[in-house]
């Protein structure tokens, strides 16, 4: 619903006066204009940077190495001077910081080319992140924060790709790298977001929350749809289960548990988050830990009994079950946040749809399964609406 419509409803309901409504509209319009102005400045800076690179690239072979390096240092110094000169104007200061960071990346490539340094793209991204990390302190720019986080992700993904092999013998090691990356990224960004909420970092928390949600989706999607990622130490059977206790990645599991400790501290001590949201987020983090857990004794290879088949299939469904529970916890934590709540329900619906296609095989049987599930959901919804006060009391939320 648009802001104008909301304000009209609030005025008609007597919640605010018409003068307050006009003041709110004027404030939002001025804020939008400033943001639009700032966005066009960023766009102009990026275009100028690309233009400079295009001119240099067109005459690259004709330029002497000393000219290339000298011109680059002059441009960097000039932009740095402009940044210092306009430091009181946050919008212009941010524009020059973004331009300077882009020029740093170009300078890294230039030095590598002039001195014939062999390196990978992810190493350049790592060096850029190191050289530009202090800008995270000097500016509150969301644009630069997004840019820096993106550069760091390029470094991490490039490093993993460089250290993985196509050889099937290294499959378990490859899976381990990706599992660690997804797990620590999800937990890390969730922790940074909780820290920004706790210490009221207004300029940071929306950006960090967005990246946390991105990794909630990517992390759970990878583990929920590709459960073999979490089983990187290999499958095991009952006949050699004791031996697998020694090969179980105990150190990795302990490290994963330890990193949850500060996250739960930030969650519990955060006064900006209500108790029900704390419970739901805490449950969600535990569920994701279990989703990434390399479940031992997953299959009974040698058994051909009905019980063994039921056990094997139940274990196969465990990642999907944890995936759905995680997003139910997120939906519960953000039931007052419409977009996140709708996203959670949509992801759960897609997971059910994928499960039906995988289970029934044909589109006809899938259709019947979806119809039955839809009726079941409708019955549950009607039952909840009819008895929701009792359900809330049962769940500890209190009645209406």
Instruction: Give pLDDT tens digits for 62-74.
Output: 667 787 788 788 8
Quick check: 356 and 304 in contact, CB under 8 A? no
Is position 308 within any domain?
yes
Quick check: 120 and 162 in contact, CB under 8 A? yes
Into how many domains does the chain fold?
2
Residue 344 has phi, psi (to 5 degrees) of -60, -45
- pLDDT for res 395: 45
Do 241 and 180 belong together in one domain? yes
- pLDDT for res 237: 45
DSSP state of 330: H
- Does 248 have pLDDT greater than 80? no
Mean pLDDT of 4-19: 74
Do 107 and 176 belong together in one domain? no
Do 188 and 286 belong together in one domain? yes
- Of the residues 138, 163, 188, which one is the last residue of a structural domain? 163
- Does 394 have pLDDT greater than 60? no
- pLDDT for res 296: 56
Q: 289: closest CA among 327, 330, 334, 326?
A: 326
Residue numbers of the domain that contains 323: 170-331
- CA distances to 82, 83, 135 from 91, in Å: 13, 11, 14
**For the CA atoms of the chain, what is the radius of gyration?**
27
Do 225 and 242 belong together in one domain? yes
Quick check: 260 and 201 in contact, CB under 8 A? no
Quick check: 119 and 112 in contact, CB under 8 A? yes
Do 159 and 176 belong together in one domain? no
The burial of 94, by beta-carbon neighbours within 10 Å (0-12 exposed, 13-18 middle, 19 or more buried), is given as: buried
How many DSSP H helices and E strands does the chain contain?
A: 15, 0
- Does 244 have pLDDT greater than 60? no
For 362, the token pair is 């044909």
The residues, ordered by sequence, that sit 6+ positions from 354 with a Cβ below 8 Å of its Cβ are 225
Is position 244 within any domain?
yes
Residue 238's pLDDT band (cuts 50, 70, 90): very low
Do 314 and 274 belong together in one domain? yes
Is position 130 within any domain?
yes
Residue 396's pLDDT band (cuts 50, 70, 90): very low
Residue that wins the pLDDT comparison between 353 and 349: 349
Do 109 and 126 belong together in one domain? yes
- Of the residues 143, 163, 183, which one is the last residue of a structural domain? 163
Do 180 and 283 belong together in one domain? yes
Is position 282 within any domain?
yes
Mean pLDDT of 137-145: 84
Is position 113 within any domain?
yes
Quick check: 359 and 369 in contact, CB under 8 A? yes
Do 148 and 193 belong together in one domain? no
Residue 175's pLDDT band (cuts 50, 70, 90): confident
Do 92 and 232 belong together in one domain? no
- Of the residues 136, 163, 190, which one is the last residue of a structural domain? 163
Is position 376 within any domain?
no
The residues, ordered by sequence, that sit 6+ positions from 131 with a Cβ below 8 Å of its Cβ are 104, 108
Q: 85: closest CA among 100, 104, 73, 71?
A: 100
Residue 236's pLDDT band (cuts 50, 70, 90): very low
Do 113 and 178 belong together in one domain? no
Quick check: 107 and 100 in contact, CB under 8 A? no
For 337, the token pair is 């946040």
- pLDDT for res 233: 41
Mean pLDDT of 353-377: 67
Q: How many CB atoms lie within 10 A of CB 314?
A: 10
Is position 353 within any domain?
no
For 122, the token pair is 């992810």
Residue that wins the pLDDT comparison between 140 and 28: 140
- CA distances to 222, 232, 264, 283, 330 from 219, in Å: 5, 16, 19, 16, 14
Do 174 and 156 belong together in one domain? no
The alpha carbon torsion through 36, 37, 40, 42 (nearest 10 deg) reads -110
- pLDDT for res 398: 46
Mean pLDDT of 156-179: 75
Is position 189 within any domain?
yes
For 291, the token pair is 């989703």
- pLDDT for res 400: 45
- pLDDT for res 183: 94
Give the up-direction half-sphere exposure of residue 7: CA atoms within 13 A in the CB hemisphere: 14
Mean pLDDT of 314-322: 80
Q: How many CB atoms lie within 10 A of CB 183?
A: 24
Give the up-direction half-sphere exposure of residue 166: CA atoms within 13 A in the CB hemisphere: 0
Residue 207's pLDDT band (cuts 50, 70, 90): very high
Mean pLDDT of 216-235: 70
For 19, the token pair is 């003068």
Residue that wins the pLDDT comparison between 223 and 190: 190
Please state, rounded to an integer, the average pLDDT across all residues of the chain: 77
- Does 393 have pLDDT greater than 60? no
DSSP state of 191: H
- Across 140-144, 230-234, 313-317, least confident range: 230-234
Residue 300's pLDDT band (cuts 50, 70, 90): low
CA–CA separation, 107 and 124 (whole Å): 10
CA–CA separation, 271 and 103 (whole Å): 41
For the chain, the distance separating the N- and C-terminal CA atoms, rounded to the nearest angstrom, is 26
- pLDDT for res 195: 92
Max distance between CA atoms of the chain, in angstroms, equals 80
Mean pLDDT of 10-32: 71
């Amino acid at each position: 619903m648009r802001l104008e419509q909301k304000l009209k409803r609030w005025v008609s309901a007597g919640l605010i006066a018409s003068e307050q409504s006009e003041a709110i509209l004027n404030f939002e319009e001025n804020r939008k204009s400033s943001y639009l102005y700032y966005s066009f400045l960023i766009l102009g800076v990026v275009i100028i940077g690309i233009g400079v690179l295009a001119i240099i690239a067109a005459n690259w072979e004709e330029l002497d190495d000393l000219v290339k390096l000298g011109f680059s240092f002059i441009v960097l110094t000039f932009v740095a001077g402009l940044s210092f000169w306009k430091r009181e104007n946050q919008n212009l200061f941010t524009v020059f910081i973004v331009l300077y960071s882009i020029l740093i990346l170009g300078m890294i490539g230039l030095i590598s080319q002039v001195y014939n340094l062999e390196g990978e793209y992810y190493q350049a991204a790592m060096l850029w992140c190191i050289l530009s990390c202090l800008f995270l302190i000097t500016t509150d720019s969301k644009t630069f924060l997004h840019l820096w986080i993106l550069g760091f992700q390029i470094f991490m993904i490039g490093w993993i790709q460089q250290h993985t092999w196509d050889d099937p013998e290294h499959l378990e090691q490859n899976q381990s790298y990706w599992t660690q990356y997804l797990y620590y990224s999800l937990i890390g960004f969730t922790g940074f977001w909780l820290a920004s909420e706790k210490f009221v970092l207004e300029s940071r928390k929306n950006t960090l929350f967005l990246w946390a949600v991105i990794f909630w989706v990517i992390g759970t999607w990878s583990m929920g749809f590709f459960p073999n990622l979490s089983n990187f130490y290999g499958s095991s059977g009952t006949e050699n289960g004791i031996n697998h206790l020694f090969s179980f990645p105990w150190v990795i599991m302990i490290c994963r548990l330890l990193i949850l400790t500060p996250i739960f501290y930030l969650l519990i001590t955060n006064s900006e988050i209500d108790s029900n949201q704390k419970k739901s987020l805490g449950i969600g983090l535990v569920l994701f830990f279990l989703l990434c857990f390399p479940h031992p004794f997953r299959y009974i290879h040698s058994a051909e009994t009905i019980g063994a088949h039921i056990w094997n299939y139940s274990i196969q469904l465990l990642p999907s079950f944890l995936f759905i529970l995680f997003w139910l916890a997120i939906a519960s934590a953000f039931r007052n946040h419409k977009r996140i709540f709708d996203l959670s329900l949509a992801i759960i619906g897609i997971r059910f749809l994928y499960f039906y296609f995988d289970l029934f095989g044909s589109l006809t049987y899938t259709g019947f399964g979806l119809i039955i599930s839809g009726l079941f959901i409708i019955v549950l919804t009607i039952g909840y609406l009819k008895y929701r006060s009792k359900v809330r009391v049962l769940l500890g939320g209190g009645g209406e």
